[in-house]
Amino acid sequence: MTNSIRIHDTFWGSVRETVRREGIPYQWKALNDQLPGAEPSYCMRNFRIASGKEQGKHGGCVFQDSDVAKWLEGVAYTLAWHPDEELERIADGAIDDIVAAQQSDGYLDTYYIINGLDKRWTNLRDHHELYCAGHMLEAAVAYYNVTGKRKLLDAMLRLVDHIDSVFGPEEGKLKGYPGHPVLEMALMRLYDVTHDEKHLKLAKYFVDQRGQSPLYFDQEQDICGWLNGTLGYSYYQAHKPVREQEDAVGHAVRALYLYAGMADVARETGDAELAAACDRLWNSVTRKRMYITGAVGSSEYGEAFTFDYDLPNDTVYGESCASIALVFFARRMLRARQLGEYADVMERALYNGVLSGMQLDGKRFFYVNPLEVLPEACEKDQHKRHVKPERQPWFGCACCPPNIIRLYASLEDYIYTVTEDALYMNLYLAHDAALDVGSAKAAVSVETNYPWDGKVAVTMTEGTAGRFKLALRVPGWCAKHTLTVNGDAADVQVVNGYAVIERDWQAGDTVVLDLAMPVTVMRANPKVYEDAGKVTVMRGPIVYCLEECDNGKDLHLVHLCTDRTGDAVAHHEPELLGGVTVIDIPGYRELDEDWGGALYAPYAAAKREDVTLRWVPYYAWGNRGLGEMRVWCMKGHSRK
């Protein structure tokens, strides 16, 4: 049996069709500077200049090459589930332009090819050569896996050989490592294809070398500002060797890309010490430094983690790429150990922290994903200027849009973890799959209306043969569930977040998992200073928010009645925001009294009016015009 997965899900099918029909062609125009009114990308132009096809100077950021790499990776995944000859022709042309710029020794980075090869590898800390190589390598592997075409893969193999000749523990080689990680996990993806020990060895070297004394970055010139501020080398996760790191620190995307690579290396090599470091860092991120939406990286300064429970809502950074990187880390932790908490976090980020980063039409994006927005403050408060009250058509630093594209185009890779004797279902979406589980064969059809409904029906279809374990995740948010096998109630113990059923499966066997999805009012750990006295709402995996267009202005004056949560009503609105379930809950609003021009006055109980608060999925906010938004609101009680 050849492993295959075909998604036909209503929820994710809509998202992915938007990615395919709108997002990919829109971003191709952006990469070629063809979006009127948007910041120019310069990306493809740089490759044509580097190859001598055009004349000019390098444009954009030093890491501009990575934008087209992520776009190509997204294209590759899309071609796997929707073949498109014209799109493949465009992608092949982009690859031609990229490969034409490659140097005879394998080096490929347009910034240095255009500005002077004599300076290459002199600023690993800040100039992203290894970062760009990593993203291009991931694109090459994906494009080869889907199309079988080797042009980009062979070019990247030459680049990897060049990098291997420059870096390593051997005498005469540079003892450096990426300032911005990603090459580590890219090399592990290449190793999955080539099984060449050289690629595993190089990935392990970059992981092991980081933070070692003498610190390589100290030998480089052009010291940047981060080293003089509060972050220092923790910005690069190079403040100490990775096996000694205990807290998630520094630039959030760099950190999580690194942790993902560490998890891959630890799993493949059986390195228990490195795996223990991954566990510590996972716990630091998800138990003390992650927003309820799956956003990470709370500080605009350095796009960074700060300290435990520091999770401000209005100045949050929460870069889309950081939530994507958290998904990558979670998936790799799942490959090592099948613990439901990894899939819980992966799901949280996919449905909330990442999905919020793209407009429903696929043509506008958030770089920063706030949990509270007052449009006037975004415009007039310098400390909140990084927060945008509306998604943007493009960015000068456009790492997030193509990252979103490649993630959602590749959802097939996140549904299952397959071991020698078990099929772990991590995500619930309608699909058909044919998978080898050791010597057994699993042909599976899944039907569900998740995330709006918690019923998941799993049917074994023709081609199923053999004995294996089917492990269905019972999400951490679910307090009650039922499970039947062929219509009979099954008392199946939940182990590590999964209900595991082992049997000799046959075509026609059906397992139905029904996850209770009540409206749940959530609170934050009291140590989260910003959320004291506040609550928010979840239903299933979806985090909800309040918007001005539903609840009026001055959202800071509304309170949710925590003694009336039993009166919450969830109902599906098929014509709203692409089809969403909204939640109505009793609350009240403090009335704005006539203060007569005074700024302060003696305390008196505020007058109030009872209201019904309308909550909508957080991921869909900002699609109905400019206005206030809040995830967390004040809690209160109804009138006695």
Active site residues: 303, 399
C-alpha dist (Å) from residue 201 to 90, 184, 268, 567: 35, 10, 11, 59
C-beta of residue 59 within 8 angstroms of C-beta of residue 42 = yes
Q: Which residue has the tokens 């007052």?
A: 374
Residues 6+ apart with CB under 8 A from 399: 63, 66, 67, 70, 253, 321
C-alpha dist (Å) from residue 517 to 248, 455, 477, 479, 564: 32, 10, 9, 9, 18
Question: What residues does 471 pair with on adjacent strands?
Answer: 424, 500
CA–CA distance, 614 with 625 (Å, rounded to integer): 16
C-beta of residue 366 within 8 angstroms of C-beta of residue 391 = yes
Find the DSSP H helices in 149-271: 151-166, 183-194, 197-209, 252-269
CA–CA distance, 292 with 311 (Å, rounded to integer): 10
Q: How far apart are the first and last CA of the chain?
A: 65
Select from 375, 364, 372, 371 the least CA-distant residue to 400.
Answer: 364
CA–CA distance, 549 with 66 (Å, rounded to integer): 38
CB-hemisphere CA count at 13 Å for 341?
A: 8
Find the DSSP H helices in 224-371: 252-269, 272-288, 320-336, 340-348
C-alpha dist (Å) from residue 333 to 155, 384, 448: 30, 34, 26
C-beta of residue 155 within 8 angstroms of C-beta of residue 108 = yes
CA–CA distance, 469 with 507 (Å, rounded to integer): 15
C-beta of residue 342 within 8 angstroms of C-beta of residue 333 = yes
Enter the tokens of residue 609.
């009016």
